[in-house]
């Protein structure tokens, strides 16, 4: 018997049916997610819902199926369409940055068997752990199965699909908020692709309303790290082809000029993770990365966060795209438990 690290919501069928099943299974958690959004933004729900509506045309242009799933979600959870839409644009409607996070991709000379490992610590306010779910989608329209770590009512976040395509993300700061495409629908649509370059094309084709870093990989060992801003995208290439480490500041020459050190621990946290990986170079396994994601020796630049800047490492993920395995941790790296899923 699997003891799930987070509640598992399994849905199948067409877009509306999957949304309805999600809403019906997680209605109580969805209401708690909406309440949390109000509290953390300090803004009333009606104002947030009004703002969320402004993003609807961008979501429809990206994926009509996504919007149909949102309509099913509203019906299943017994909430308004505007409230269901707010779940897809929490950070954007509230105009607040979306956490921290330390992400990595390692392969070839870096890992013990040459295979690809991709993942991150998820750093957010601790209350998010109480509304987090694992969403397992099985569309009947040709789109791939996928396992997604997300929040109740939110249809897209980090995860991996049946083709081994996975993506993770880091918040980036110092970008003016504007009307555009929220990141969560983009994350879901990326999980409907077969290869990393397909995801890059999607990111290039749609202008977002805020900044983020997307770390994307596929079963063929292709890794793409893309910094995204409202004005466009820029690809980051690390100093060795077998690794990418990214935190919460700009690393590409194109966007580095925007950096104001908004999250002061990002640079030392990045250097700490690089040093940890270098010390294990050539021997890295899943167990190694589970241990490194629990690091505290670098305090105040340790990888496992316990409240610095109000953020905690509420979860962690390690994907093995070639094996279609997705490892999920609930809680801090030093205290949480891991569960492995076949996707």
Per-residue pLDDT of the chain (343 residues; tens, 9 = 90+): 355 689 999 999 999 999 999 999 999 999 999 999 999 889 999 999 999 999 999 999 999 999 999 999 999 999 999 999 999 998 887 766 667 899 999 999 999 999 999 999 999 999 999 999 999 999 999 999 999 999 999 999 999 999 999 999 999 999 988 889 999 999 999 999 999 999 999 999 999 999 999 999 999 999 999 999 999 999 999 999 999 999 999 999 999 999 999 888 899 999 999 999 999 999 999 999 999 999 988 666 689 998 877 789 999 999 999 999 999 999 999 999 999 999 9
**Two tokens at 216?**
């994307």
As given in the structure block, the two tokens for residue 280 are 């294990």
Residue matched to tokens 């063929």: 220
pLDDT of residue 301: 65
Residue 293 to residue 94: CA distance in whole angstroms: 29
CB 26 within 8 A of CB 75: no
Burial tier of 145 (Cβ tally within 10 Å: 0-12, 13-18, 19+) = middle
* Cβ proximity of 187 and 66 under 8 Å: no
Give the DSSP letter of residue 222. Answer: -
- What's the CA gap between 299 and 100, in Å, rounded? 16
Rounded to the nearest 10 degrees, the angle between the axes of helix 27-41 and helix 45-53 is: 100
Residue whose C-alpha is closest to residue 304's, from 318, 290, 286, 321: 290
| 8 A C-beta contact, residue 330 and residue 5 | yes
CA distances from 319 to 33, 108, 326 (A): 26, 15, 5
Instruction: Please tell me the distance from the alpha carbon of residue 10 to that of residue 78, in angstroms, as a whole number.
Output: 19
Q: Which of 30, 22, 43 is nearest to 87 (CA)?
A: 30
The pLDDT of residue 1 is 39
From CA 343, how far away is CA 116, in angstroms rounded? 16
The CATH number given to 8-342 is 3.60.60.10
């Amino acid at each position: 018997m699997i003891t799930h690290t987070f509640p598992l919501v399994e849905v199948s069928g067409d877009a509306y049916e999957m949304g309805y099943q999600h809403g019906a299974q997680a209605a109580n958690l969805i209401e708690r997610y909406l309440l949390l959004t109000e509290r953390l933004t300090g803004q009333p729900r009606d104002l947030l819902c009004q703002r969320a509506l402004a993003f609807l045309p961008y979501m429809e242009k990206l994926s009509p199926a996504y919007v149909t799933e949102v309509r099913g979600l509203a019906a299943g959870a017994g909430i308004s369409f505007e409230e269901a839409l707010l779940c897809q644009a929490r950070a954007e409607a509230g105009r607040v940055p979306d956490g921290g996070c330390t992400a990595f991709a390692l392969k070839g000379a870096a890992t013990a068997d040459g295979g690809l490992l991709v993942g991150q610590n998820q750093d957010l306010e601790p209350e998010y752990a109480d509304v987090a779910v694992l969403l397992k989608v099985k569309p009947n329209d040709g789109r791939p199965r996928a396992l997604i770590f997300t929040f109740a009512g939110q249809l897209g976040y980090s995860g991996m699909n049946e083709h081994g395509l996975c993506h993770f993300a880091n918040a980036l700061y110092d970008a003016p908020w504007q009307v555009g495409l929220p990141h969560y629908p983009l994350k879901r649509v990326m999980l409907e692709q077969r290869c990393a370059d397909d995801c890059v094309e999607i990111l290039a084709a749609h202008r977002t309303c805020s900044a983020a870093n997307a770390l994307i990989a596929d079963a063929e060992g292709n890794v793409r790290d893309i910094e995204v801003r409202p004005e466009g995208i820029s690809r980051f290439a690390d100093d060795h082809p077998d690794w990418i480490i990214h935190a919460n500041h700009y690393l590409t020459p194109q966007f580095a000029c925007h950096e104001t050190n908004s999250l002061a621990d990002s640079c030392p946290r990045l250097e700490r993770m690089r040093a940890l990986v270098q010390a294990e170079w050539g021997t890295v396994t899943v167990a190694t990365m589970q241990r490194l994601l629990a690091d505290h020796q670098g305090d105040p630049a340790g990888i496992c966060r316990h409240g610095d800047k109000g953020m905690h490492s509420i979860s962690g993920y390690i994907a093995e795209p070639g094996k279609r395995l997705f490892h999920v941790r609930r809680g801090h790296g030093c205290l949480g438990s891991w569960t492995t899923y076949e996707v």
